[in-house]
Amino acid sequence: MTILIACLSTGKGTWGHVSRLIQDGTWDKVYLITNAYGKENFNKNEKTELIDVNMQQGLKELRDEIKEKLNGKLEGEVAVNFVSGTGREHMALISALLQLGAGIRLIALTKEGVEEI
């Protein structure tokens, strides 16, 4: 089982990158860490779950909220993409994943397709 986890936040064109990554990869499940706006406006498929978090809270609080909402959902291989979002959001996500005991692979959409970085 391969799970994709990505931030879906700010950055010009980053939603398009995440969308193509979802479409072009072979994922059993996709979790997108986003805010209320992203949850309302991103066109997801049947394998995608949008996880709404408060991006404005402190770093440790954001990490804890992500950890709480991903707890029990990580089975098998975990692929992570950080193209969308801020460094602060990325730090909270990676910390949450490591605290949950996940081994991760960094994945991106390149000219050659979906690749591990």
- For residue 12, pLDDT over 90 is answered with no
Query: How far are the Cα atoms of 51, 66, 83, 96 from residue 12, in angstroms, in the given order?
Result: 21, 24, 10, 25
Provide the domain limits for residue 87: 2-116
- For residue 88, pLDDT over 90 is answered with yes
Cα-Cα-Cα-Cα dihedral of 81, 102, 77, 94, to 10°? Answer: 0
Per-residue confidence (pLDDT) for residue 116, from 0 to 100: 93
- For residue 10, pLDDT over 90 is answered with no
Kindly report whether the global pTM for this prediction surpasses the value 0.85.
yes
- For residue 98, pLDDT over 80 is answered with yes
pLDDT > 90 fraction of the chain, expressed in percent and rounded: 90
Per-residue confidence (pLDDT) for residue 1, from 0 to 100: 76
Per-residue confidence (pLDDT) for residue 5, from 0 to 100: 98
Q: What mean pLDDT do residues 87-110 have?
A: 95
Note the pLDDT tens digit of each residue in 36-81. 999 999 999 999 999 999 999 999 999 999 999 999 999 889 999 9
The CATH number assigned to the domain holding 66 equals 3.40.50.10770
Number of structural domains in the chain: 1
